[in-house]
Amino acid sequence: MFNRRRLLVCIAATAVASTAPAAYALEEGKFERAAFEAAQAAGKPILLHVAAEWCETCHAQKEVIEELEGDPKFRVYSIYTIDFDTEKDVMRSFGATSRSTLIVFKGKTEMGRLVGDTREKSIKALMEKGL
């Protein structure tokens, strides 16, 4: 026999699942040396995020960064993720020793860095240094 309540529950669950935000993906803005160097040569503000997919602090930082990207003044940023688990050589080249590290450049000049900080105020202040 057809159960209308069960059907409605299934439809509701499907609707909620289809509107859920996508999972954090390190592939977005994955670090590429040539793109980074081109952004440096153009004098652009750059944010490097050393992150691990399993890192809760990295996820929290990513959420703040995504919010700040909505601000028109931060849309000029080139943002790259350095994978903590697979890109140790890249990390070392920037002097980063741990995950949840944020590094801001203005062109070829490093303007500042944060490690383990998830506060919007701190991340915003760091990103403002690159403008």
CA 77 to chain centre: 12
Asked, for residue 54, whether it belongs to a domain, the answer is yes
CATH code for the domain in which residue 97 is found: 3.40.30.10
Asked, for residue 63, whether it belongs to a domain, the answer is yes
Asked, for residue 72, whether it belongs to a domain, the answer is yes
Residue 13: what pLDDT? 47
**By percentage, how much of the chain surpasses pLDDT 70?**
78
Instruction: Please report which helix (H) or strand (E) contains residue 61, including its range.
Output: helix 56-68
Q: Are strands 45-51 and 78-83 parallel, antiparallel or unpaired?
A: parallel
Asked, for residue 17, whether it belongs to a domain, the answer is no
pLDDT digits 0-9 by tens, 48-72: 999 999 999 999 999 999 999 889 8
Asked, for residue 55, whether it belongs to a domain, the answer is yes
Residue 30: what pLDDT? 82
pLDDT digits 0-9 by tens, 67-108: 998 898 998 899 999 999 999 999 999 999 999 999 999 999
Asked, for residue 18, whether it belongs to a domain, the answer is no
- Write out the residue range of the structural domain in which residue 100 sits: 23-128
For residue 22, name the pLDDT band (cuts at 50, 70, 90). very low
Q: How many domains does the chain have?
A: 1
For residue 31, name the pLDDT band (cuts at 50, 70, 90). confident
Give the span between the Cα atoms of 126 and 120, in whole angstroms. 10
Q: Which two tokens stand for residue 86?
A: 């697979």
